[in-house]
Amino acid sequence: MTLVATLVALGPGCKKDPPATGDEGVPPAGSHEEAPARLPVLALESFDAQPGFLASGAIYAAVRAGVAQDFLRQLPLPSDVTRELAEARRELGFDPLTDDVLERFAIPDDAVISMTLGRPIGVEARKQVASELRSRDDRFLRVLSQVMKQTEAEHWGLDPLERTKPVEVPTPVEPVELRPPEPEPIGFAPPSEKPPLPPEPLPVPVEPLPPPEPPPGFEIPPTPVPDPLYDPTPPPVSPGERLEAEALLRKSDAVGLHFRFHIPSKEPRRILEEFRVHADPSDLARGDALCRDHGTAVCLGEGRGLLAGRIEGDAAVLDLVVFTGRFMAEADREAHRAALAEALAAPRAELDALSRMAGHASVYVHAEGLVEMIEHERTGAALRTLTWSDEGQREDLERRLREGESLRRLLSAPRLFDGLLASAHHERTRTQLQVTWPLAEGQQALAESTLVPPPIRVPVPSIEALCEGALICARSRGVPRPEALGTKLGLGVYGDERAFFDALRDADEAGGVLMLVSTWPNALGTLGWHVPLAEARGAEAAMVRGGLDAVGRVQGLGLSLQGFELGRRFELRARYAAYARVPVEDINLVSTALSFAELRMTPTTIEGVEGPVKMLRIPEDDVPAVLMTREDPEPVADEDGKEIRHGWLTLVDETDRFSWLLGRETDDGTEPYAYAEIPDLWRLVATVPEAAGELGFARTWATDRSAKASLELEDGQPRLVIEVVQAPSKAEGS
């Protein structure tokens, strides 16, 4: 299947498309007429409806020919990846990066390769298999595993117990009589005379103590009977049990995951013939037997995968079905034929989010389809890992089935987003990624009430001022109110911190993926509201509640890391300034919290800084830290007309950095919602010698190249823009 990945990832050639503008472009979701000057948001050309998009998929992707390979050729590659590409060249017969893949397979420069990944096949069969696995007793699970092993052994000609070929006994060799070598004579020396040792004293006899009398009413428990010895022989399987097991296995044989690839080509047969050339004859024979009467040009079955290639007009269409149960050679052919027929007859997708895919490459992950795909895979894994030994078998089975069920619980809560959409634009000097989370139907008002922070009313340092000469800089206009997130989105499994963490543990790594794709606002409600309040009682609860309310009143956050060095003992010497613009009452709340730790902020004066200033030098040996506050001279009115005095809550490496921060140029801080930048990637990497050594292969590429990220909200929908761009001077020189 190496060729599938190569065609999808590297099929586009080297043509560079200019960014689309005007009516032909799709404006990014949440765009503003005046984008931040440091990160202009590009208009992207729409992909429109694509023939490779099928209903019920988990992941949808599209890539434009003429850009992807140009992008991959610019990427710096470590030596191990270079070696793997060399091995791929020997296997494929061409170099995926240096050879013209488009010309080899007659793919037009302006072609769009579209695909649907992880589409479930046999959903009802999978539900029946999961239900039967859970409801049957341990005896049936052992029978089921034994039938699978016997079927495998019958097909491959192996012993169902050993599953290996017998060890050949070597031909005996005639023994040869060996004589030891003659020992060398040992020199004799008379022993030295020593005085005799004194006789050891005889031990004093000790009378044994009588055993203690048991208390009244005490009975000595009988000696436990040892467990019978473990018998490794599989249990005998009756004909009736075998029929039941085979019926369940036939259901599982119809369960799989479908992957559709649509590759435009002037000569699509070239692509399909490439598979035939590299395929094993037995795989082709197995595939032809299953694909008969489906009009396929090539079909091969290997392991658990069945690949069917067809020609539709000027395109090669590849349908890959990965079965989650037994290997193809051992499974029921009729079940596989039915699964293939279902895959080939799949209808087109009608998701609204697909119409917003744009750029040179775009991916949409549908949350519902993602959960369905993982449920499919986990049920298959539960079946494949059964053993005839009953030690821990039920626990392993339940653990795998719970993964999918826990994901379903995490998804079932009221949520804002249907999935995640990422679209990329690439030029030689700039690569921009735009990520949005399409809102679920009717959820705009809920998103605005939970994600939008309070309006900012005080000046804050500008992004340009924070980033000047910095290694890393960042700014945010505030954060969502924890109470709104917790009470409006922290519902269902997210409303109980124990249930949330249990579900997250059972879901394993897939739980984090699902939160990234769809439910991260719900998780913020749990972590930012329910968890802090869960164990707090009395006065502590009041203080925690006050702290959470203070978080929702933050007017702005910022950071400027001017430099840092790691010492020999890994102590950090940093030059930095971080701030939060908050009401004065919240500064007093911080002072009160510090007093519980017996820490006091003391008044001080800083040259060039007006107003009341307090400071606390934090006793930390590894990182220099000084907490400093200052009240604004004048109050400002809130939305109700109430006068509120704000101030600065800062953390700096030294007091001079505080005056430096307050002397920065300011603006209203309303746009964007959040921003972060690394002005020079290699300058940051070079501050850590170990990292510079590991990433030395990327030095030329990373020098004078910056990374920027911007987050904005428009009508409640977040849009994250990430860009890696080359400095103008270097770009002109290249």
Residues in Cβ contact with 672 at an 8 Å cutoff, skipping those fewer than 6 apart: 36, 477, 710, 711, 712
Q: What is the pLDDT of residue 26?
A: 43
**In Å, what is the CA distance from 237 to each residue of 141, 177, 388?**
12, 53, 11
Higher-pLDDT residue of 695, 436: 436
Confidence at 568, pLDDT banded by 50, 70, 90: low
357 touches 421 (CB < 8 A): yes
3-state secondary structure of 120: strand
Q: What is the pLDDT of residue 36?
A: 45
Higher-pLDDT residue of 293, 97: 293
Which token pair is 190? 């008379």
Distance in Å from the first CA to the final CA of the chain: 37
Give, as one character, the DSSP assignment of residue 598.
T
Residue type, 257: L
Q: What is the pLDDT of residue 188?
A: 57
Nearest to 341 by CA among 377, 306, 370: 306
Residue pLDDT, tens place only, 571-599: 678 899 999 999 999 999 898 888 888 88
Distance from chain centroid for Cα 676: 21
Q: What is the pLDDT of residue 158?
A: 55
Say what the pTM is: 0.82
Q: What is the pLDDT of residue 32?
A: 35
Domain ranges in the chain are 2-14+52-126+249-412, 481-551
Residues in Cβ contact with 138 at an 8 Å cutoff, skipping those fewer than 6 apart: 390, 393, 394
Sign of CA dihedral 98, 101, 103, 108: negative
**Separation between Cα atoms, residue 724 and residue 681, nearest integer Å:** 9
88 touches 6 (CB < 8 A): yes
Average pLDDT over residues 109-114: 92
Residues in Cβ contact with 86 at an 8 Å cutoff, skipping those fewer than 6 apart: none
Confidence at 5, pLDDT banded by 50, 70, 90: very low
Q: Report the percent of the chain where pLDDT is more than 90.
A: 55
Residue pLDDT, tens place only, 362-409: 999 999 999 999 999 999 999 988 877 656 788 889 999 999 999 999
**Separation between Cα atoms, residue 307 and residue 260, nearest integer Å:** 10
Distance from chain centroid for Cα 445: 29
Confidence at 186, pLDDT banded by 50, 70, 90: low
- Of the spans 494-503, 629-638, 688-697, which averages the highest pLDDT? 494-503
Is the pLDDT assigned to residue 16 strictly greater than 60?
A: no
**Separation between Cα atoms, residue 352 and residue 308, nearest integer Å:** 29
Q: What is the pLDDT of residue 170?
A: 55
Average pLDDT over residues 688-715: 87
**Separation between Cα atoms, residue 244 and residue 129, nearest integer Å:** 12
**Separation between Cα atoms, residue 159 and residue 149, nearest integer Å:** 9
Residue pLDDT, tens place only, 65-96: 878 777 777 777 777 777 787 777 777 777 76
Q: What is the pLDDT of residue 539?
A: 80
3-state secondary structure of 160: coil
Q: Which of 268-272, 536-540, 646-650 has the lowest mean pLDDT?
A: 536-540
Average pLDDT over residues 540-562: 92
Average pLDDT over residues 589-614: 88
Confidence at 1, pLDDT banded by 50, 70, 90: very low
Higher-pLDDT residue of 675, 197: 675
Beta bridge partners, 627, equal: 616, 651
